[in-house]
Amino acid sequence: MGDETFLDHVKNPRNVGLLDDANVVIQAGDPECDDKLIFFIKIEDDVVRDIKFLIEGCETTVATSSIVTELVIRQPLDAVLSISDRSISDALDGLPEEKMHCTAMAASAMHTAVHQYRATPKGEASSSTHSFEHYRIVAQVLNQPLAEVYSSDFDL
Ligand code: FES
């Protein structure tokens, strides 16, 4: 495990915060460890223009969330779909097997964002909930400003 890259992302997580003009919001959580996070994503013309996240979680979840934002930012959606738990782990110079569910949650969160965005007609809002073995993901496509959605129901 490459401690240097990992610790850098734990201590200085990239792209933390709210993204006011996000049009896709992904909540992800693992009920067993109680880690939870929200990705705010701006997708336009089939490209991830911007992404930020908020998190309450362990070091590995912080590092995987941080690195995944760097992996997807300014990438076309097809490239986002090719991101895997392994590629996230590799970008952190390797993670132990027992932490691979954290990378799987981050990869699933990005894939779910793309699928939800592509399945939603332009100008419409939508949401869906997905249960995986270790975690749960709620995906929302917004057609109103984030501030209005954020003050309503987030329920992981
Ligand atoms: Fe909580 Fe991996 S330890 S998601």
Atom from ligand 1 closest to the CA of residue 32: 1
In the chain, helix, strand, coil percent, each to 5? 40, 25, 35
- Residue closest via CA to ligand 1's atom 2 equals 102
* pLDDT over 70 at 82, yes or no: yes
User: Which of 6-15, 73-82, 103-112, 141-150 bottoms out in mean pLDDT, i.e. has the lowest?
Assistant: 141-150
**pLDDT of the residue at 151:** 66
Give pLDDT, residue 150: 67
Burial of 17 (0-12, 13-18, 19+ CB in 10 A): exposed
Which ligand 1 atom is nearest residue 135's CA?
4
Closest CA to 132 of 85, 79, 78: 85
Protein residue with least CA distance to atom 4, ligand 1: 102
Of residues 19, 33, 24, 20, the one with CA closest to residue 64? 33
Distance 141 CA to ligand 1 centre (A): 25
Instruction: Kindly indicate the confidence band of residue 145, based on its pLDDT and cuts at 50, 70 and 90.
Output: confident
Q: How far is the CA of 75 from the centre of ligand 1 (A)?
A: 26
Q: Which residues contact ligand 1 via a Cβ below 6 A?
A: 30, 33, 35, 57-58, 60-61, 101-102, 105
Query: CA torsion sign, 93 to 94 to 99 to 105?
Result: positive
Structural domains of the chain, ranges and CATH numbers in brackets? 3-145 (3.90.1010.10)
- pLDDT tens per residue, range 115-137: 999 999 999 999 999 999 989 99
- Whole-prediction pTM: 0.93
Q: Say how many Å lie between the CA of residue 104 and the centre of ligand 1.
A: 10
1, pLDDT greater than 70: no
69 close to 53: Cβ distance less than 8 angstroms: yes
DSSP helix/strand/coil, 8: helix
Ligand 1 center to 44 CA (angstroms): 30
pLDDT tens-digit series, residues 17-65: 999 999 999 999 999 889 999 999 999 999 999 999 999 999 999 999 9
Q: What is the distance in A from the centroid of ligand 1 to the CA of 145?
A: 30
